[in-house]
């Protein structure tokens, strides 16, 4: 005779701890049934509840004059003009992408798109921030190809360009890739819609694709670690349909424009339970639904499956009864299915019926508030050892030409044009700068302004110094926008870490948050949306702590949009900022010496701000031909990238008496921007630098054919270009 499984055992199987199960029974004052356990499992998962992170997330600056809609909605928004706002959001799809990379990366972008138009905003473009293991590994090569293909295929089919992004490769991410998608849209302020189930008696309508078993328990899967059994969990990965997605955008935006809906929420993580309970909770109401009215893909689905399904391209609309027929008519015009499944109630309860039977009944407050923890922290033991490097003991390279070529052809630094070429060329007509610029820039014709956006984050910096790494992620994102001529406006953050139950991981998380908070506050870029992804681990351990900072900015005058490529021979080249003896945590150490060690470059926030303000002032005054920040690979790599982008060389002569050759060429000192200007603007550049009290050095001139740096480097631009652009195609295409 088989032993009967207890409720507690079921709860533990679906991710509810014994303590949480006890809390649930005390809240309900009874034992929950199986469906109710599923509701709690989804809503109390880390992915939905942020139970291990929300205490620390409150440290982030979320308010200010730039904010139109702050954290807590589907997406955040900052002002673009008095009548319009930029809506933007980053989301992770890490664990699903390890299992089904094509489908998961597609739905990662698709889900983020829904977060944008749910607010009443029109999505404009996407960015991606990706992390993989070594690209020489066959599984990693497969993941990289499929993620790149899935992300761009979905975006192309929906009709949105993937304008920019970043990709890192490191063994830390082997078996646990990071796939973070960011979407940017534009909102007419009068069209703002919030996720609120307001108005007692208003109708609850499910809209879009049918509900299936795909993605059931997806939120729980995303909240657990990857192990040997994870490859079999393809059922936890929802599969999108971009054709429905494209029509859904237009249909929802039309009913919003006509002011026909009260509230709206997309169905992403935790599907129907999340959208119903959250919209009711935010409005202080309840919702009653009949799941027999939910359109299905499959026969025989249980209430548990219907409520937790994460089938894609589905929305929940709250509509006044007198507007329901007009809403359904518009949806039908766009070939979008819809069904009235319930109503808004006054009792604060999520009541789920199947025909006349009540299958679940839980106060929405219990589901939406959930538990809240601050976990134990412990400074990692590895830090003291890993931060020490005997730089004097490093072997001097025989030739720095070879070192530069090797860095440019390393997978983290090399061009990611292989992905960019998959973007439909017809979709980039409003893109203002070529691929490879410091940020993506999108022109908004109706406002005659451009929106710039970037994604940035260095996991190795955060592994070796999480506080500084968090600050640098914000500073570099802002620096990238400034190099394009944009004034930074706001942040969305994607925080990717190992298990929060590991005290060393939680120490990393806490310190990264403090770093992001300090820099975001200093630069006045509020954090208006974001995502936390814990449990990013494989059998060998946790990933590098990897905060991704998505940042948006505004270019008021399109004529000042600036790219990184050198433009004209004999233009002068300036370094704004200064080179320092900082080699720790650099790509040079990692690639040339196989050392992921040392202290990352330090960051002086005031100096960084002055460098950025000086360069932005120069660009707005029309003084700058090109601008490019120094980041991974350092000074020499930044110069090489400007040469490659502009198909011109440079002759550089600059003193570095107190700095080693390696640190001078490849150190990753912060707060440095390389600009090129016409000879007639030399004095004006010097005047601006003096005004902001920033160090600046005239380092050379733009020349044809070769990049020459002192007597250390002399390489043809054609050879730099070949190394930089062919590295990844050679690996992934054989």
In sequence order, what DSSP letters do the residues of 580-619 get, joined into one string? -S--TT-HHHHHHS----SPPPP--HHHHHHHHHHHHHHH
Burial class of 4 by CB neighbour count within 10 A (0 to 12, 13 to 18, 19+):
exposed
Residue 428: strand pairing partners? none
| Rounded Cα gap, residues 182 and 434, in angstroms | 19
- B/e letters for 589-612, b = 16+ CB within 10 Å, e = fewer, are bbbbbebbbbbbbebebebbbbbb
Q: What domains appear along the chain, each with residue ranges and CATH number?
A: 1-61+194-370 (3.90.650.10), 408-414+562-734 (3.90.650.10)
CB 17 within 8 A of CB 375: no
Q: Is 47 a catalytic residue?
A: yes
Q: Using CB atoms within 10 Å of the CB of residue 296, give its burial: 0 to 12 exposed, 13 to 18 middle, 19+ buried.
A: middle
Predicted pLDDT of residue 236: 54
Q: How far apart are CA 206 and CA 242, in angstroms?
A: 18
∠ at Cα 91 (86, 95), nearest 5°?
170
Tokens 């960011």, located at residue: 182
Cα gap 322→408, rounded to integer Å: 62
Measured distance CA(693)–CA(586) in Å, rounded: 28
Candidate list 47, 95, 628, 696, residue with the active-site label: 47
Question: 46: closest CA among 36, 35, 57, 31?
Answer: 57
Give the tens place of pLDDT for each residue, 618-661.
999 999 999 999 999 999 999 999 999 999 999 999 999 889 99
Rounded Cα–Cα distance for residues 127 and 111 (Å):
13
Task: State how far the Cα of 179 lies from the Cα of 148, in Å rounded to an integer.
Answer: 10
- Give residue 274's pLDDT: 95
Task: Name the catalytic one among 93, 95, 628, 696.
Answer: 93
The CA distance from 104 to 304, in Å, is: 23
Give the per-residue pLDDT at 225.
Answer: 53
CA distance 155 to 160: 5
Report the alpha-carbon distance of residue 597 to residue 630 in Å, rounded: 20
C-alpha 689/C-alpha 630 separation (Å) is 18
**Nearest CA among 1, 183, 33 for reference residue 107:** 183
- What DSSP character marks residue 6? P
H helices of 371-490, in order, are: 382-386, 400-408, 417-420, 459-464, 466-483
Q: Give the integer Cα–Cα distance in Å for 289 and 354.
A: 8
Residue ranges, the chain, pLDDT below 50: 1, 218-223, 227-234
pLDDT of residue 223: 43
How many other CB atoms are there within 10 angstroms of residue 234's CB atom? 14
Sign of the CA dihedral with 316 first, then 319, 324, and 326 last: negative
d(CA 55, CA 78): 24
Q: Is 675 in a helix, a strand, or coil?
A: strand
Q: Would you list the DSSP string of 506-525?
A: HHHHHHHHHHHHHHHHHTT-
Our answer to whether residue 93 is catalytic in this structure is yes
Q: Which residues pair with 500 in a beta bridge?
A: none
Q: How far apart are CA 363 and CA 340, in angstroms?
A: 22
Query: 409: how many CB neighbours lie within 10 A of its CB?
Result: 21
C-alpha of 639 from chain center:
27
pLDDT computed for residue 103 by the predictor: 92
DSSP per residue, 38-76: HHHHHHTSHHHH-TTTHHHHTTS---STTEEE-BTBSSE
Q: Contact, 119 vs 188, CB < 8 A?
A: no
**Burial, 81: exposed, middle or buried (Cβ in 10 Å; 0-12, 13-18, 19+)?**
middle
* 18 membership: H or E segment, kind and range: helix 18-28
The alpha helices in 232-292, defined as continuous H runs, are 242-257, 271-283
- Residue pair 481/454 in contact (Cβ under 8 Å)? The answer is yes
Note the pLDDT of residue 217: 58
- pLDDT for 61: 97
H-run or E-run covering 146:
helix 138-158
Identify the pLDDT of residue 3.
59
**Residue 696 burial by CB count (10 A; 0-12/13-18/19+): exposed, middle or buried?**
buried
Q: What is the DSSP string of 612-668?
A: HHHHHHHHHTT--SEEEE--TTHHHHHHHHHHHHHT-EEEE----TTS-HHHHHH--
Dist. CA 31–CA 37, nearest whole Å: 9
């Amino acid at each position: 005779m088989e032993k009967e499984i207890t409720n507690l055992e079921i709860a533990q199987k679906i991710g509810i701890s014994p303590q949480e199960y006890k809390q649930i029974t005390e809240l309900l004052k009874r034992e929950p049934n199986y469906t109710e356990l599923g509701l709690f499992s989804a809503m109390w998962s880390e992915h939905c509840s942020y139970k291990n992170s929300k205490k620390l997330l409150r440290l982030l600056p979320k308010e200010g004059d730039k904010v139109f809609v702050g954290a807590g909605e589907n997406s955040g928004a900052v002002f673009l003009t008095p009548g319009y706002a930029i809506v933007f959001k980053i989301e992770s799809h890490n664990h699903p992408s390890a299992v089904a990379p094509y489908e998961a990366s597609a739905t990662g972008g698709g889900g983020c798109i829904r977060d944008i138009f749910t607010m009443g905003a029109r999505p404009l473009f996407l960015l991606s921030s990706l992390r993989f293991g070594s690209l020489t590994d066959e599984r990693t090569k497969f993941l990289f190809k499929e993620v790149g293909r899935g992300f761009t295929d979905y975006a192309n089919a929906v009709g949105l360009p993937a304008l920019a992004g970043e990709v890192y490769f490191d063994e830390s991410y082997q078996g646990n890739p990071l796939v973070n998608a960011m979407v940017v849209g534009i909102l007419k302020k009068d069209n703002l819609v919030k996720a609120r189930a307001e108005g007692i008696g208003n109708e609850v309508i499910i809209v879009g694709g049918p509900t299936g078993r795909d993605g059931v328990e997806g939120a729980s899967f995303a909240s657990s670690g990857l192990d040997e059994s994870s490859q079999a969990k393809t059922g936890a990965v929802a599969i999108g349909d971009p054709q429905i997605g494209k029509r859904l955008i237009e249909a929802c935006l039309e009913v919003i424009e006509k002011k026909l809906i009260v509230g709206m929420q997309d169905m992403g993580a935790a599907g129907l339970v999340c959208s119903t309970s959250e919209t009711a909770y935010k409005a202080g109401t309840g919702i009653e639904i009949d799941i027999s009215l939910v359109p299905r893909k499959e026969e025989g689905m249980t209430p548990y499956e219907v409520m937790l399904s994460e089938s894609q391209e589905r929305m929940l609309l709250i509509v006044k009864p007198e507007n329901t027929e007009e809403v359904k008519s518009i949806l039908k015009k766009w070939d979008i299915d819809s069904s009235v499944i319930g109503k808004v109630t006054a009792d604060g309860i999520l009541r789920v019926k199947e025909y006349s039977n009540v299958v679940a009944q839980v106060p929405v407050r219990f589901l939406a508030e959930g538990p809240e923890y601050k976990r134990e922290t412990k400074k990692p033991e590895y830090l003291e050892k890993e931060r020490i490097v005997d730089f004097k003991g490093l072997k001097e390279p025989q030739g720095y030409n070879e070192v530069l070529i090797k860095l440019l052809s390393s997978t983290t630094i090399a061009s990611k044009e292989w992905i960019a070429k998959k973007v439909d060329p017809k979709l980039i007509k409003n893109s203002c700068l070529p691929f490879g610029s410091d940020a993506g820039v999108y022109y908004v014709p109706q406002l005659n302004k451009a929106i710039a956006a970037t994604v940035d984050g260095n996991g190795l910096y955060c592994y070796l110094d999480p506080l500084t790494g968090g600050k640098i992620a914000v500073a570099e994102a802002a620096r990238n926008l400034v190099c394009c001529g944009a004034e930074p406006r706001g942040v969305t953050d994607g925080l990717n870490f190992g298990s929060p139950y590991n005290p060393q991981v939680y120490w990393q998380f806490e310190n990264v948050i403090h770093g992001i908070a300090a820099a975001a506050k200093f630069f006045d870029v509020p954090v208006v949306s974001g995502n936390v992804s814990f449990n990013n681990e494989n059998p060998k351990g946790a990933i590098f702590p990897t905060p991704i900072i998505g940042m948006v900015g505004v270019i008021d005058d399109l004529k000042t949009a600036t790219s990184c490529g050198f433009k004209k021979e004999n233009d002068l080249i300036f370094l704004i900022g200064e080179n320092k003896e900082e080699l720790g945590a650099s790509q040079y150490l990692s690639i040339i010496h196989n050392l992921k060690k040392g202290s990352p470059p330090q960051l002086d926030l005031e100096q960084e701000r002055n460098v950025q303000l000086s360069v932005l002032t120069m660009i707005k005054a029309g003084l700058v031909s090109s601008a490019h920040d120094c980041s991974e690979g350092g000074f020499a790599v930044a110069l090489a990238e400007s040469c490659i982008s502009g198909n011109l060389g440079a002759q550089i002569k600059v003193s570095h008496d107190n700095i080693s050759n390696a640190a001078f060429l490849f150190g990753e000192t912060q707060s440095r921007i390389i600009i090129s200007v016409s000879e007639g603007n030399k004095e004006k550049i010097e005047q601006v630098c003096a005004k902001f009290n920033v160090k600046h050095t005239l380092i050379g001139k733009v020349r044809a054919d070769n990049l020459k740096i002192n007597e250390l480097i002399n390489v043809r631009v054609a050879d730099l270009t070949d190394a930089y652009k062919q590295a990844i195609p050679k690996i992934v295409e054989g």
